[in-house]
């Protein structure tokens, strides 16, 4: 009798375990998978590679593909084989000599010819010259520009002093990463969301932001190395994401503005990224170098206290230069030790024991910079920066109103031995509030006494300049002015009806141009998303979400899960991933004030819905996850099953 009871008991336990396992193992429909850019590109490369193995493509009958990667509509690829190695000269016909582009490719038998600089909505003529004898013209019909593409409202050019380099701009509000020629015509653009700086690497490729957001308002997952045809060679992922600026160091690595992962402050960390592995090999944490409460500008917040918006490297002195917008300070750090060497800016509001880090101005026309951007050391050791000019004072009682204010590109000569500073160049003050940009913008030195000054965030409401980005307001007028100044004279000007973060002048065809079908790589990691140290009980009693009240949407990329939903301010929301009782519980923060930059609303104006709900996005990185998880949501203590699963 006892034996039968024991058997019944064991059988009951086994049944209970089986029911539990059945519950926890029942597989819901999988979350929709989104094709990652790199995997999509790999498919294109494979197709191209297979196509080009067909040696029947000849100079007379080449393979031609317009916009082969789908993200650079004014580019194309031409490919063919020749029996003997011969050079090929490509000519892309422009409207005149200075907008016609020519490049000669090295001799080979397998020719891969990237074509840049096409016009939109045009039957473009592209001429190929093989060796010194054979010539043929290929016609390429392009589509019109997107309807929302910003086109110049004003362009002027002193053509005698200009070549055929293009002006590359990156958007800050709406718009496209694009390049304009000296006529103001668009000759290249990307359809992907690659914001922040775009620069050219020593190998001829571009360095620009990835097109995936890692956190609001504008933190991207990392950097990409791309060519102008839209081919990505390396996607560098960073645990703290990327914002504002990154440069190539002399050793080939990258110096990157980032965030400290999972910290409560932002834009106060810089890292060196190993070019070959994507690993972070050196970090500068500004919270350990500078006082966070000092010299507060109007836009200072506890979270965004420094707001580093540029990185530069002084090779001669092994130092890095950073621009702290919210302390009106350019700081200079020893690369090896991280030790603070000097600060450029008004010393008002800094502790007494730090006054020795500041310079003494000389010269009658000297002015300090305010809320600056784009700080860099020039070849002669001078400091160039864009002086946005916000308020032009630390004292609210003496703030300069926006209608009376101005922005400018400025160059300072520094004498670190005597700790003196002298202003040697400025452009913009003479234009007054019509050149006033309270955020973003840049200055570049092209050669001695030759600068590109870009005021990217000019704005007004009802004709009156604003002291915050005009994008905050209803019905604003937005513009940017990119001005090339040589020996004190304006030789080029481009005005666009939108805000653009930065502008750079670069050749369309660099001397070291390389395109190949080698597979793109992902280097680095997004890191592991923090979980709450709790477990949620009674998942088997979870309710079903029977309506679309919270507008829940789930999607998956190969390296992360993306959760979006609409919630009221302050609601307590948790996302639960469950696998056979193993739980990962993530906090979904619902707040209109994120741990983020001061201009969060600039890029998230649509975050607040008509029903006063906040649109919230949470990224769950794949690091630390393995297998299939059922998904649950807890909202203000009520548990819901999402009837979806995700597999990593």
How wide is the angle at C-alpha 312 spanned by C-alphas 310 and 317, nearest 5°?
A: 150
Question: Helix (H, G, I), strand (E, B), or coil: what is residue 119?
Answer: coil
Indicate the pLDDT class of residue 522, thresholds 50, 70 and 90.
very high
With 50 as the cut, is the pLDDT of residue 17 above it? no
Contact (CB, 8 A) for 177 and 146: no
Tokens 């045809």 sit on residue = 229
CA distance 283 to 454: 30
Lowest mean pLDDT of 4-18, 66-80, 439-453, 555-569, name the range.
4-18
Indicate the pLDDT class of residue 451, thresholds 50, 70 and 90.
very high
Radius of gyration of the chain from Cα atoms?
Answer: 28
Lowest mean pLDDT of 16-20, 395-399, 622-626, name the range.
16-20
Lowest mean pLDDT of 51-60, 234-243, 524-533, name the range.
51-60
Question: Measured between alpha carbons, how far is residue 488 from residues 208, 304, 311, 379, 483 in Å?
Answer: 31, 36, 27, 19, 11
Query: Quick one: average pLDDT of 15-44?
Result: 70
Indicate the pLDDT class of residue 289, thresholds 50, 70 and 90.
very high
Each residue's pLDDT tens digit, 385-406: 999 999 999 999 999 999 999 9
Query: Quick one: average pLDDT of 570-595?
Result: 90
Give strand pairing partners of 458: 479
Query: Quick one: average pLDDT of 364-372?
Result: 97
CA distance 539 to 560: 23
The percentage of the chain sitting over the pLDDT mark of 70, rounded to a whole number, equals 93
The whole-number pLDDT of residue 68 equals 96
DSSP-assigned states of every residue in 488-502: TEEEEEEEESS-EEE
CA distance 483 to 443: 10
Q: Which residue has the higher pLDDT, 607 or 523?
A: 523
DSSP assigned state of 513: -
Query: Of 268, 297, 262, 234, which is closest to residue 521 (Cα–Cα)?
Result: 234
Indicate the pLDDT class of residue 601, thresholds 50, 70 and 90.
very low
Query: Quick one: average pLDDT of 326-346?
Result: 98
The whole-number pLDDT of residue 19 equals 45
The whole-number pLDDT of residue 595 equals 54
Tokens 């597989």 sit on residue = 27
Give strand pairing partners of 88: 105, 130
Q: Side-chain half-sphere of 32: how many Cα atoms within 13 Å? A: 7
Tokens 């308020």 sit on residue = 391
With 80 as the cut, is the pLDDT of residue 104 above it? yes
With 90 as the cut, is the pLDDT of residue 602 above it? no
The whole-number pLDDT of residue 587 equals 97
Each residue's pLDDT tens digit, 77-91: 999 999 999 999 999
Q: What is the pTM of this model?
A: 0.93
Query: Quick one: average pLDDT of 473-498?
Result: 97
Q: Which residues contact 504 (CB under 8 A, 6 or more apart)?
A: 167, 168, 197, 198, 199, 442, 444, 452
Indicate the pLDDT class of residue 7, thresholds 50, 70 and 90.
very low
Q: Which residues contact 574 (CB under 8 A, 6 or more apart)?
A: 532, 536, 585, 586, 587, 588, 633, 634
Q: Which tokens is 493 given?
A: 């000007």
Query: Quick one: average pLDDT of 566-584?
Result: 94
Query: Of 403, 400, 529, 383, which is closest to residue 461 (Cα–Cα)?
Result: 403
Contact (CB, 8 A) for 98 and 162: yes
The whole-number pLDDT of residue 594 equals 56
Question: Helix (H, G, I), strand (E, B), or coil: what is residue 51?
Answer: helix
Hey, where are the domains in the chain?
2-30+529-647
The whole-number pLDDT of residue 4 equals 54
Q: What is the rounded average pLDDT for all residues in the chain?
A: 92
CA distance 346 to 349: 8
The whole-number pLDDT of residue 27 equals 67
613-621 β-sheet, strand order: 32-33, 553-557, 560-568, 613-621
Contact (CB, 8 A) for 421 and 344: yes
């Amino acid at each position: 009798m006892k034996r039968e009871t024991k058997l019944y008991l064991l059988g009951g336990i086994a049944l209970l375990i089986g029911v539990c396992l059945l519950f926890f193992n029942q597989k819901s429909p999988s979350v929709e998978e989104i094709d990652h850019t790199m995997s999509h590109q790999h498919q294109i490369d494979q197709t191209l590679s297979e196509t080009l193995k067909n040696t029947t493509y000849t100079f007379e009958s080449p393979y031609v593909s317009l916009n082969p990667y789908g993200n650079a509509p004014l580019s194309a690829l031409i490919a063919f084989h020749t029996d003997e190695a011969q050079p090929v000269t490509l000519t892309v016909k422009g409207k005149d000599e200075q907008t016609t582009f020519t490049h000669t490719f090295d001799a080979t038998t397998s020719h891969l010819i990237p074509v840049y600089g096409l016009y939109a909505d045009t039957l473009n003529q592209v001429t190929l010259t093989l060796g010194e004898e054979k010539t043929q013209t290929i016609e390429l019909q392009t589509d019109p520009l997107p309807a929302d593409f910003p086109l110049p409202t004003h362009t002027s050019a002193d053509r005698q002093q200009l070549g055929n380099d293009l002006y590359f701009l990156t958007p800050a509000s709406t718009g496209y990463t694009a390049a304009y020629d000296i006529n103001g015509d668009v000759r290249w653009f990307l359809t992907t969301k690659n914001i922040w700086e775009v620069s050219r690497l020593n190998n001829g490729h571009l360095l620009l932001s990835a097109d995936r957001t890692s956190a609001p308002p504008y933190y991207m997952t990392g950097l990409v190395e791309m060519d102008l045809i839209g081919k990505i060679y390396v996607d560098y992922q960073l645990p703290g994401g990327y914002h504002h600026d990154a440069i190539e160091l002399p050793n080939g690595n990258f110096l990157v503005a980032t965030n400290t992962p999972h910290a409560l402050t932002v834009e106060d960390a810089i890292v060196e990224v190993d070019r070959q592995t994507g690993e972070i090999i050196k970090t500068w944490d500004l919270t350990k170098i500078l006082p966070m409460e000092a010299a507060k500008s109007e836009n200072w917040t506890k979270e965004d206290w420094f707001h580093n918006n540029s990185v530069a490297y002084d090779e001669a002195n092994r130092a890095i230069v950073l621009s702290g917008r919210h302390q009106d300070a350019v700081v200079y750090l020893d690369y090896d030790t991280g030790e603070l060497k000097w600060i450029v800016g008004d010393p008002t509001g800094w502790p007494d024991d730090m006054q020795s880090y500041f310079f003494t101005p000389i010269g009658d026309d000297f002015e300090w910079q305010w809320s600056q951007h784009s700080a860099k050391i020039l070849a002669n050791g001078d400091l160039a920066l864009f002086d946005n000019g916000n308020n032009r004072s630390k004292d609210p009682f003496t703030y300069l109103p926006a209608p009376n204010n101005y922005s400018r590109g400025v160059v300072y000569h520094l004498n670190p031995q005597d700790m003196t500073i002298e202003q040697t160049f400025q452009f913009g003050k003479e234009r007054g509030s019509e050149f006033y940009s309270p955020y973003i913008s840049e200055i570049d030195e092209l050669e001695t006494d030759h600068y590109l000054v870009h005021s990217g965030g000019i704005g007004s409401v009802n004709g009156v300049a604003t002291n915050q980005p005009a994008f905050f307001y209803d019905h604003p007028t937005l513009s940017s002015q990119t001005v090339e100044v040589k020996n004190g004279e304006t030789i080029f000007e481009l005005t666009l009806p939108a805000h653009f973060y930065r502008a750079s002048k670069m050749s369309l065809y660099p001397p070291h141009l390389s395109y190949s079908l080698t597979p793109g790589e992902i280097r680095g990691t997004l890191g592991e998303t923090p979980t709450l140290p709790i477990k949620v009980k009674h998942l088997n009693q979870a309710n079903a979400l029977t309506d679309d009240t919270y507008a829940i949407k789930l999607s998956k990329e190969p390296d992360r899960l993306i959760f979006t939903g609409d919630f009221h301010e302050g609601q307590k929301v948790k996302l639960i991933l469950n696998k056979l009782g193993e739980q990962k519980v993530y906090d979904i923060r619902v707040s209109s004030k994120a741990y983020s930059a001061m201009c969060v609303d600039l890029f998230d104006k649509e975050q607040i819905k008509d029903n006063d709900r906040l649109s919230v996005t949470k990224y769950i990185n794949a690091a630390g996850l393995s297998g299939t998880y059922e998904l649950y949501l807890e909202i203000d203590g009520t548990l819901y099953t999402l009837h979806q699963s995700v597999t990593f």
